[in-house]
A = this chain, B = another copy of it.
Amino acid sequence: MASDIEIARAAKLRPIADVAAGIGLAPADLDPYGHHIAKLATTSGAARGKLILVTAINPTPAGEGKTTTTIGLGDALNHIGRSAVIALREPSLGPVFGRKGGATGGGQSQVLPMDRINLHFTGDFHAITAAHNLLAALIDNALHFRLPTATGLPLDARHIQWRRVMDMNDRALRQIAVGMGPGNAPAREAGFDITVASEVMAILCLADDFDDLRLRLARIRIGRDEAGTPVTAGDIGATGAMMALLIDAIRPNLVQTIAGSAAFVHGGPFANIAHGCNSVVATRAALAHADFAVTEAGFGADLGAEKFCDIKCRSSGLRPAVAVLVATVRALKYHGGAPLATLAAEHPAALDAGLASLTRHIENLRLFGIPVVVAINEFSSDTAAEHAAVLSHCRETLGVAAHICRHWSQGAAGAADLAHSVAALADADTADFCLLYPDAMPLADKLRTVAQQIYRAADISLSPAAARQLRQFTDQGFGGLPVCIAKTPYSFTADEHVKGTATGFILPIREARLSAGAGFVVALAGDINTMPGLPRVPAALGMDVDAEGNITGLD
């Protein structure tokens, strides 16, 4: 069977100007990056389409194909005669060189050119890295020279909360000491996160426009002065230079799918300590140029769709018309207790138990007033009996449309049923979107609301530090921000090993952090690793470039 990169390479790409013309964009609207990638040079007009959110059950090692389904659904909507533009996140170099896998879909449902998109693409992540690290260099320079901040006092070296970033899996940089050696003082503990964990990434993805980007960058909290007063990026004069580094990165990137659909691939914040969605400007661009904008949120419908709604939609005013919940028979069996090695075999009891997870995610999406369609992403090991069991559960027990989807193997035609169903539901305008909590709710109550309604915890527990931090943020005027719960995506609980639909547990909040620029309060439920390590055998070791200049070993 052909690998993803082989399928991608065999595809015939259209000039990006033709793809753009197909959605009403003129050459003057584009800055080309090669012949198959472009950045939008102009701001898009008003939304004319409806927003389709693709989300999934909790991720598993078996893979669900959420991005693949987002692409397949976009292709299928175009295939059935409706216009659709796709909006996706950009891949990070970390996973590309770490555990095998790009993030551009798979099979016949990929965005192209996959090798370029998975590597440097248009340089957005490099620009974000540079802007983030320029702020870090300005902070350490201010410490070195004991420069006064806007408050009149120097920064307090003991309370710097801005780390550095690199788009790489590099465990040795997680925890470091900087400023060592003569002349480089002050020495202090510091560290690197992966670029997708940068607050600049979250900011770029939530910014409405250039002016909003500037306001958000200026608000970034970097630490405190020697009297304890909070200090921001704006207070040390960093905003303008960061803006200069981000003027191209804020513009959405246009590419195409194998089927030729237009796709905006732009931004990619973590879905734990940030909100996990492509940029607001890319979603808006998709909405401006088609009947449907098909987008996705990170991780499952609990962690990802909740943040999509309560953070991205709250901030931007975007409103999804339909949600598509992606599941696979294999992943349902895994959630129902079947061991990973046995997922190719039928296991009716495990499948049945796994359907309880599916049910909960559907219930959760309905809390936001979004009508749901279930997409079962077919694997070759699936059986007719398994398909029948899942479809029957969805359609008869839950009253939700559900379809077996074969876009991975068949492309657009394989998801035509799903597309008809999604289009009909969107046309019917049944969505009655609502946020899970109002801005005015106290921060701790927001956390409790999400924990109880989405994760079905009995309650939260706040560590003394977390309780103090929430009080501080409220006192400092940030009590109206939404919350961003950073927890394992593999379980409804904070323990990744607890599968299935647990209830009655306590969700422990260890620490709270303020992302004042992005505009949310992060609550850490468990240890969240913001700088992955490479595995013993990194994917990098299997990569190369062949005699024709094609990249090999990237799948």
Contact = CB atoms under 8 A, between A and B. Distances in A.
Contacts of A181: 174-175
A130 B120 contact: yes
- With most chain B CB atoms within 10 A of its CB, the pick from A126, A237, A244, A549 is A244
A175 B180 contact: yes
A540 interface: yes
A362 interface: no
A35 B29 CA distance: 12
- How many copies are assembled? 2
B119 A245 contact: yes
Interface in A198-224: 210, 214
B241 A97 contact: yes
A34 B543 CA distance: 29
Interface string A81-124: 00000000000010001000000000000000001000110010
B551 A244 contact: yes
A175 B175 CA distance: 14
A167 B137 CA distance: 11
A181 to B, nearest CB: 4
Interface stretch (A458-466, A498-506, A530-538): A530-538
A241 B538 CA distance: 10
Contacts of A210: 545, 549
A478 B134 CA distance: 39
Interface in A415-429: none
A259 to B, nearest CB: 24
A32 to B, nearest CB: 4
Residues of A in contact with B, size category = 35 or more
Contacts of A239: 544
A544 B240 contact: yes
Contact of A244 (B136, B538, B554): B554
B176 A178 contact: yes
- With most chain B CB atoms within 10 A of its CB, the pick from A93, A120, A179, A549 is A120
Q: Is the interface of A mostly helix, strand, loop or mixed?
A: mixed
Contacts of A214: 545
Interface stretch (A140-148, A318-326, A339-347): A140-148
B171 A538 contact: no
B247 A168 contact: no
Contacts of A170: 133, 136-137, 140
A189 B552 CA distance: 35
A551 B33 CA distance: 21
A51 to B, nearest CB: 28
Contacts of A141: 171, 533-534, 536, 538
B545 A243 contact: yes
Contacts of A176: 176-180
Contacts of A180: 175-177, 189
A178 B183 contact: no
A138 interface: yes
Contact of A543 (B127, B244, B534, B549): B244
- With most chain B CB atoms within 10 A of its CB, the pick from A127, A136, A178, A248 is A178
Interface string A226-254: 00000000000111110111011000000
22 contacts: A31-B35, A32-B34, A33-B33, A33-B34, A119-B245, A120-B127, A140-B172, A141-B533, A143-B172, A145-B536, A172-B178, A174-B181, A175-B180, A175-B184, A176-B179, A177-B177, A240-B540, A240-B543, A241-B543, A244-B544, A244-B551, A247-B551
Given A144-B171, A144-B533, 9 more contacts: A97-B241, A130-B167, A137-B170, A141-B171, A147-B536, A171-B179, A172-B179, A176-B179, A239-B544
Interface of A: 31-35, 93, 97, 115, 119-120, 123, 126-127, 129-130, 133-134, 136-138, 140-141, 143-145, 147, 166-181, 183-184, 189-190, 210, 214, 237-241, 243-245, 247-248, 533-534, 536, 538, 540-545, 549, 551-554
